[in-house]
Amino acid sequence: MTDTMERRALTREQLLAAYRQMRTIREFEERVHTEFATGEIPGFVHLYAGEEASAVGVCGNLDGRDTIASTHRGHGHCIAKGVDVGEMMAEIYGRQTGSCHGKGGSMHIADLSKGMLGANGIVGGGPPLICGTALAAKLKGTGGVSVAFFGDGGSNQGTTLESMNLACVWNLPAIFVAENNGYAESTASSWSVASDNIADRAAGFGMPGVIVDGFDFFAVHEAASEAIARARGGAGPTLIEMKFTRYFGHFEGDQQTYRADEVARARAELDCLKRFAARVTETGELAQADLDAIDTEVATLIDQAVDDAKTAPPPTEADLLTDVYVRY
């Protein structure tokens, strides 16, 4: 096997881990969807269901040296980067046991110890920060890379375009992942992205741009593997555009009257988990029993997370004023 093949060949452990992560994201989001409808979860949530292959396919190539930045639709990236699921659920419920002690909420879950620079409430807020962590990795010589996830809406934000230029000018170990799920809120990306393919913008900045079927874990993993290797090797940034669809609305409560029937079709024919399962059982790399076992474990994990979150204490009045600055 060549180095390239070795790097990309997925072991049994890696395949199991990929399935587990995708399944965890899916069950997490589906559960938040039903729980949110009860009115118990404060504020807004933006669900990632349907897009799991992107987060898991990319993050499956990362390690402890690497950083990612996410969007308001950040639960999937958090889980894929190893943020604790129980702490995430508690954060969404606004509890003191949450990842951010209840002070951030769904849109601001972060864990810098795991290289997760945060979900972000500002569209386009992540890419400049990723230029920074990539710069730090380059100057410190860690070999680490930084990945900026953003959506089709975020692809039009000035900050994203500036960051792409800066990353190319400074030759940073950065990867820009445009998750084109077809809609920026209620506006179709085929309308709002003038070049229609976000990947086409890459040439304007002097970096490669590739389009990947975002429902296909193996396609994502392969393309991301190459982009990350390129960045680690000092050859600079890449733009990867995932094309897929989100299963839920922009936010929970979105009536989605702007959509056609693409979700039903996607769930039936394109779903990343179904396709992954079909493939790995077909090749014999994994057995259905392996997958079923994971499904059961994940269901238990999510149940536990929700139960714990519902019974956890809220932050106290004293918590209101803490951590504005480092010392007070």
Residue 176 pairs with which residues in a beta bridge? 148, 239
Of 210-229, binders to another protein (CB under 8 A) are 210-212, 216, 218-219, 221-223, 226-227
CA dihedral 317, 100, 121, 193 (to 10 degrees): -170
Q: Which stretch binds another protein (CB under 8 A): 17-25, 26-34, 236-244, 301-309?
A: 236-244
Rule CB under 8 A: choose which of 31, 84, 128, 254 binds another protein: 128
Region of residue 258 (left: phi > 0; alpha: psi -120 to 50; beta: else):
alpha
Q: Which is nearer to another protein, 196 or 307 (CB)?
A: 196
Tell me the closest approach of the beta carbon of residue 124 to another protein, in angstroms: 8
Rule CB under 8 A: choose which of 169, 264, 287, 293 binds another protein: 169
Rule CB under 8 A: choose which of 58, 78, 131, 294 binds another protein: 131
Quick one: which H or E segment has residue 321?
helix 317-321
Helices (H) and strands (E) in the chain, counts: 14, 7
Rule CB under 8 A: choose which of 11, 13, 38, 139 binds another protein: 139
CA dihedral 123, 125, 128, 131 (to 10 degrees): -100
Rule CB under 8 A: choose which of 140, 186, 311, 316 binds another protein: 140
Is 98 a residue that touches another protein (CB under 8 A)?
A: yes
Going by their DSSP bridges, the two strands 174-180 and 238-243 should be labelled as parallel
Rule CB under 8 A: choose which of 94, 102, 154, 236 binds another protein: 102
Q: Which is nearer to another protein, 35 or 87 (CB)?
A: 87
Tell me the closest approach of the beta carbon of residue 296 to another protein, in angstroms: 26
> Whole-angstrom distance between the N-terminal and C-terminal Cα of the chain?
56
Q: Which is nearer to another protein, 289 or 325 (CB)?
A: 325
State the number of CA atoms in the 13 A half-sphere of 273 facing the CB: 21
Q: Is 240 helix (H, G, I), strand (E, B) or coil?
A: strand
> Residues near 153 by Cβ (< 8 Å), separated by ≥ 6?
123, 184, 185, 187, 189, 192
Of 12-71, binders to another protein (CB under 8 A) are 67, 69
Q: Which stretch binds another protein (CB under 8 A): 29-37, 45-53, 158-166, 291-299?
A: 158-166
Q: Which is nearer to another protein, 34 or 206 (CB)?
A: 206
For 291, list phi and psi in degrees, rounded to 5. Answer: -70, -40
For 324, list phi and psi in degrees, rounded to 5. Answer: -80, -40
Q: Which is nearer to another protein, 303 or 323 (CB)?
A: 323
Rule CB under 8 A: choose which of 47, 58, 130, 147 binds another protein: 130
Q: Which is nearer to another protein, 24 or 180 (CB)?
A: 180
